[in-house]
Structure 1
Amino acid sequence: MPRVSPILRGLVLSAAIVAGYVPAVAGEQQTEGEKRHSILKPELQTGTAFRAKPREVEDPAVVNRMSKAVANCVNGREAGMVRSFLSVSDPVDTDREAADFRWSRFMDVLEGCMKTRWNEMPNDPRRTTLGMAFSDSRLRALLEEEVYLAQNDTAPEAVAGQPFQTKRFYVSSDENLARAQGLADFADCLAHRDPKTADALLRTEPGSSAERQAAKALAPSLGACLAKDQTIEFTASSIRALAADGLWAWTTLGPATAE
């Protein structure tokens, strides 16, 4: 069974950091956790945004489904750019200057996909009430999910004796590095403890009862991956993001090598 590494045990993995995986909905009142996250990483709240008005959404599930649809579109149009983005980011930060593409071009693709998805729902009354903004970490998780699903028809299988940590790379520094390593370690642990359920979660429709059931089924693994006496409140969306990060890293980066 996977064991939690010293990196995670020594990290106070707060709900504020996990909240970075949840889409910021324009007009939606921030929770206390999201406010704390804004203080920790204010630039993440404005790094990637779409303008839409009015700024109100009654059903977050609509936003989550739209977010997935946009990410699927982006990966379909610019798979190479998506992989480059993933290679210059970690669960907390993105090194935009290291990307081998113009960031403005990436934003153009995102906005184009957003408009495409809007045009697919011309008679939906919610079309005029949907506003959305992505943090870089949220966008990363969405794209990891799409890349993983595009490349894998079934869940990976753990190999006996193989470490659950994957061959990660980090662009974060200082205290953000510890947070990024902790989130990555947690995602790796979750994916390796129950890859089939984590995989099944990513194949559900956001906001559906199937998503909630799959997320609930991962509760034992979530608890096992937490450090002793650690308590975190999860949402189906944040669990989905952790599963996407863990499965993507497992199937794309491979296992960590012994130093």
Structure 2
Amino acid sequence: MMVKGISIACLAIAMIDPAVAQKVNSGERVKEQGRSSAKAAQEFANCLVYRRGEDVRLFLDMTTPDAAAKISRGLFSEENCLSMPNAIAFTESLQLQSPAAIQRGVLAEALMGDMKDQPVPEAQPLRTNYRNPWFKVSARDPAVDEMATCVAATNPSGITKLVHTVAESGEERAAVASLSPSLGPCLVKNAKLTANRQSLRAALAEALYHRMATPELLTAPEAGGDRPVSTSPVRN
């Protein structure tokens, strides 16, 4: 699938004019809320993996929407996780604000926490395309998942560094910036993608999880899908 007319960008950092300096405190509160929400989301995901790890794996490995929905109904109603500290605030955010694609990325990070003894996969040469069956249930544009899967193949260590950073931190921004050169070459022809840092991290985390959990998905390339080098700038 060709996606046209959208440009790649991670979150741009805006300079604050002295005339609106009074807004800084408000901005800092928003950032802190973002960090708190991200932390609660990760704690919830860690709890799910601890209590229902196999169900989480099945949920991410499903390739049809009906199968994924069936597992998710029981998975996200885990009572012991819903009673954890800050669970009420997080579950409200989960229902109202957290897209399914980001939920999947957070769960993938939690699963990789249990795979920390597994070595980082080796980087592979760029190939024609990276289509995978789990794209059908990721809730992302296929071009995003294919780009992320390509980066997981060609620069897995870069994604590993990213998922080891604290969300909404300076270290996270630096890790995204270091990954920027790997994103353009992984775009399908004529595709340009817009993603904030949270969405990009989620897509990359899930792609790396699938590479580590089911490496055979990258052993048989499919035909089609030219992948020229993109000249689109990536801003952090």
Separation of aligned partners in 1, 2:35 and 2:126? 39
Give 5+ residue unaligned stretches, structure 2.
Answer: 11-28, 223-236
1:204 match: secondary structure:
coil
Separation of aligned partners in 1, 2:212 and 2:142? 18
1:116 match: secondary structure:
coil
Sort the Cα spacing of 1:64 and 1:14 in 2 relative to 1 into closer, same or farther, 3 A.
farther
User: Which residue of the partner structure matches residue 187 of structure 1?
Assistant: 148
Q: Which deviates more, 146-155 or 205-214?
A: 146-155
User: Which residue of the partner structure matches residue 135 of structure 1?
Assistant: 99
**Given the two structures, how large is their TM-score scaled by the length of structure 1?**
0.61
Deviation sequence 1:187-245 (CA, Å, 0-9, x none): 11122232111101101111121111101111111222234564433322122112212
Sort the Cα spacing of 1:202 and 1:60 in 2 relative to 1 into closer, same or farther, 3 A.
same
- Report how many aligned residue pairs link the two structures: 195
CA contact (8 A) 1:164 1:192 kept: no
- The answer as to 2:208 corresponding to 1:244 is no
1:150-229 matches, within 5 Å, as 150-153=114-117, 154-159=119-124, 165=130, 168-170=132-134, 172=136, 180-227=141-188
Separation of aligned partners in 1, 2:107 and 2:90? 24
- The answer as to 2:113 corresponding to 1:113 is no
Runs of 4+ in 1 over 6 A off after TM superposition: 127-130, 161-164
CA contact (8 A) 1:65 1:207 kept: no
* Letter of the 1:105 counterpart: G
Sort the Cα spacing of 1:193 and 1:128 in 2 relative to 1 into closer, same or farther, 3 A.
closer
User: Which residue of the partner structure matches residue 196 of structure 2?
Assistant: 235
* Letter of the 1:205 counterpart: V
| Percent identity of equivalent pairs | 23
User: What is the alpha-carbon root mean square deviation over aligned residues?
Assistant: 3.6
